[in-house]
Structures are given as C-alpha cells and as structure tokens.
Amino acid sequence: MPRSPDLLFRSLADPTRRAIFEGLCRHGEQTVGTLTAKAGVSQPAVSKHLGILKQAGLVRERHEGRQTHYRAQPKALMPLLDWTGKMAAFWESRFDELENLLNRMDQ
Amino acid sequence: MTQTAPETRTVVVEREFTHPPDKLWRALTQPHLIAEWLMANDFVPSVDHRFELKADWGTVACQVMAIEPHRSLSYSWAALGLDSMVTWTLTPTKTGTHLRMEQTGFGPDQTRAYQGARYGWPKFFDGLEQTLARLD
C-alpha cells in the first residue's frame, strides 16, 4: 500500500469522518448532499472530511453531471487489522485527546 | 525478564504541538491531566514507581523506568499479554513541541498479545472487523 498508514489512522480518529465512512460502508455509494443531511455538519465541512478520507484512500469519488458520488474503499482499512496498526491508531486517538486537553489548558 | 528479539515490534506516533514543552510535560506527568487524555491512573513521576492505568476495558500495569524532566519519560506497559515499553520524547521547536511516542518490545506470545490488543482496544473502531468481514 503506497499511502502512509499515519494518514489512515488520523483520518479515522475524527468521529464525524468515521461516521461518514461507516455510513458509506453500510449504505453504499452516496452524494455529498445525502451525506451532509446525515452528518449534522455543513456541506463544506463534509466535503473537507471527504477530501481527507480520499487522501487516505478510504473513499473514491465518481462524477455524474453536477453530482459527485462517494464510495467506501474498505480494503484501505487492512493495516488496521494488524494489531501494531491498532496500537498506532489507539495512540493517534490519544494524541487527539492530548491536543484537546492542551487547548483547554490555555484558557 | 527475557528478551526475544525477533518478536520485538515497535509503534511510533509523532506530532507537532503549538504548546511549549513544559506544558506538554505537565499533561504527561500530572495524574489528573493524564486522566483527561489517556486513562485514570495513580502515576507519580519517580523512577521505579509502579502505577496502573484503568479503563472500562481493563487495567494496564506500568512502572516508571526513566525520567528526564521536560525531555523524556519511559514506562513499562503490561496489559492482557502485551508487555512493552512506552517512551515519550519532547523536543522543543520554534513553534512549540515535537512529541514522539514509541511503544516497543512486545512479548513472545503473539497470540496472547494479539488478544490483548483486541480487548485492549477501547471501543475504537468498534465493529470494524465485522464490517470488513461483511464486505469481503
């Protein structure tokens, strides 16, 4: 796999992105509009999340007229089935929590 | 403790923070702050001190191995067949701190370690393997 696993772990550490990806796994191909309706965040935010998922190889896009359809690429998750990968993802998520804490400590 | 070099594996996670090293050091060494981002604990920043990290899925037994204030911290990490060493390294940068976490030296029993990693997985990516199995 040419992509960095780091990117994969970080892209899935965000709960909104994970929900978008899980939705695509469960319900198949969807448009940005449909995904926005479910995500509870703005369309630009959803598009940004999809961009990050795409970079990580987790989704693929398909253009049809003015619509862009997104589809999950679950094979990109393979590194996570290795427990070393799981620990890395665990620590990535802890780093996110650490970052949140540090930001709160400022105030 | 015997080392079985061929089985040793390493996980490294690094990140740049826009916060100074002394602030990160506090977050890494003060129990009430550790609890906020990692797990409930009885950590004391003193070499040889044994402490536990507690989560709803179980307990991690740890012992402080080395401390260099504001620069590095190492502790052993044992949970459900997973024996390892966690080392934190803080490097000051122009904009804050580069933080590196290295977890290394997993024990010889890969099956137990794998089970440990499975159960030690705190609800992160719940159902991932089932999802993949369905899609295969």
B128, A77: Cβ pair inside 8 Å? yes
Of B24, B118, B131, the CB nearest to A102: B24
At B104 the pLDDT is: 84
B124 contacts in chain A (CB < 8 Å): 89-90, 93
Whether A74 sits inside 8 A of B135 (CB atoms) is yes
Q: E strands along B4-132, which residues? A: 10-17, 40-41, 50-55, 58-68, 72-79, 82-92, 97-104
| DSSP structural state of residue A59 | E
pLDDT score, position A81: 62
Instruction: Supply the range of the domain harboring residue B103.
Output: 14-121
Interchain CB distance below 8 Å, B128 and A97: no
Task: Measure B47 CA to nearest chain A CA, in Å.
Answer: 23
- Which one, of B23, B25, B57, B15, lies nearest residue B40 by Cα? B57
Residue B133, in any domain of the structure: no
Give the right CATH number for A5-105 from 2.40.50.140, 1.10.150.120, 1.10.10.10, 3.40.50.1100.
Answer: 1.10.10.10
- Give the CA-trace dihedral at A19, A24, A30, A33, to 10 degrees: 0
Give the chain B residue whose CA is nearest to the CA of A74. Answer: B132
Residue B41 in any domain: the answer is yes
Question: For B128, how many CA atoms within 13 A lie in the half-sphere containing its CB?
Answer: 23
Q: How far apart are CA A22 and CA A28, in angstroms?
A: 10
pLDDT at residue B105, rounded to an integer: 65
Judge: B114–A83 Cβ closer than 8 Å, yes or no.
yes
ipTM of the prediction: 0.74
Q: Is B51 inside any structural domain?
A: yes
Predicted confidence (pLDDT) per residue in A39-82, tens digit = 888 999 999 999 999 999 999 999 998 889 999 987 787 666 66
Domain containing residue B105: CATH number: 3.30.530.20
CA–CA separation, B81 vs B107, rounded Å? 7
Buried b (16+ CB within 10 A) or exposed e, B26-58: bbbbeeebbebbbbebebeeeeeeebebeeeee
Give A-chain residues touching B122 at CB under 8 angstroms: 90
B1 within a domain of the structure (yes/no) = no
What's the pLDDT at A66? 87
Q: How far is CA A80 from the centre of its chain?
A: 14
Q: Is position B6 within any domain? A: no
Smallest Cα distance from B11 to chain A, Å: 6
A90 touches chain B (CB under 8 A): yes
Q: Does B60 fall in a domain?
A: yes
pLDDT of residue A40: 85
Contact A25 B117 (CB under 8 A): no
Contact status, residue B73 vs residue B88, Cβ threshold 8 Å:
yes
Q: Return the domain boundaries, chain A.
A: 5-105
Residue of B nearest to A19 (CA): B125
**Mean pLDDT for chain A overall:** 85
Q: Which two tokens stand for residue A8?
A: 């994969």
Is the pTM higher than 0.95? The answer reads no
Number of domains in chain B: 1
Report the interhelical angle of A43-55 vs A5-13 (nearest 10°): 150
B8: in domain: no
Q: Collect the ranges in chain B with pLDDT lower than 70.
A: 1-8, 57, 80-82, 105-136
In angstroms, rounded to a whole number, what is the distance separating the alpha carbons of residues B103 and A102? 22
